[in-house]
Amino acid sequence: MLTLISCGKDSKDSDETFEAFLNKPSYSPKPGMIWDIYPVEFLFVVTDAKGNDLFDESTPGNWLSKPFSATFEGQEFLWPKTATKAYKARLMGFYIYPKSYTLSDVVVLRFGQLDGTKTWDTDLKISWPDGSRDVIRVQHAFRWDISGDPESYTGFKVNGVPIEGRLIRLTK
């Protein structure tokens, strides 16, 4: 029997640290299973001091057409650019989740995608249109637990401060 399942639990939901997760043993996946392991993405909501979404086309002075850049592992990524669609995790730079896609009242700026089966402990350095800069550290690791199920840890720090969850909220 062949079963296709997306990646299971995230240890970041517990009190476990990245270092403790890295020290856990990894086993083998369950036989007869094909796993679709989620890629790692940086997800941003960027607002001004009044709470206006800077990537929403209805916000006066939005940043949709204003250039900015990021550096990740020595490679520079520029905005704006034409987004491409891919089905495998690959580093595509910045792209947008519009409100209609997120079913929320915010536009989500995405950066990624990183291979979810690899270990990442590195920085994304962003230079924004207003001249400010942020350093976002991603800490991600993947392993197979003793029962053969996938388990991962994903955490982010903004300018050295850990955040809760995966949505990075910035005020500019």
Beta carbons of 35 and 115 less than 8 angstroms apart? no
For residues 139 and 80, what is the distance between their CA atoms, to the nearest angstrom?
27
- 61-85 pLDDT, tens digit per residue, is 999 999 999 999 999 999 987 555 5
More confident call, 73 vs 93: 73
Detail the DSSP E strand segments found in the chain: 3-6, 9-10, 33-36, 40-47, 68-72, 75-79, 93-97, 108-114, 120-127, 133-144, 150-158, 161-162, 167-171
Tell me: the pLDDT tens digits for 115-144? 999 999 999 999 999 999 999 999 999 999
The fraction of the chain above a pLDDT of 70, given in percent, is 84
* CA neighbor of 95 nearest in space, from 105, 85, 104: 85
Domain region containing 139? 3-171
Question: 15 pLDDT band (50/70/90 cuts)?
Answer: confident
Q: Which residue has the tokens 């949505």?
A: 167
Instruction: Quote the pLDDT of residue 67.
Output: 94
pTM of the shown model:
0.85
Closest CA relative to residue 77, chosen from 53, 93, 55: 93
34 vs 104, more confident: 34
Binned at pLDDT 50, 70 and 90, residue 3 comes out as: very low
Domains: count for the chain: 1
Are 39 and 115 contacting, i.e. CB atoms less than 8 angstroms apart?
Answer: yes
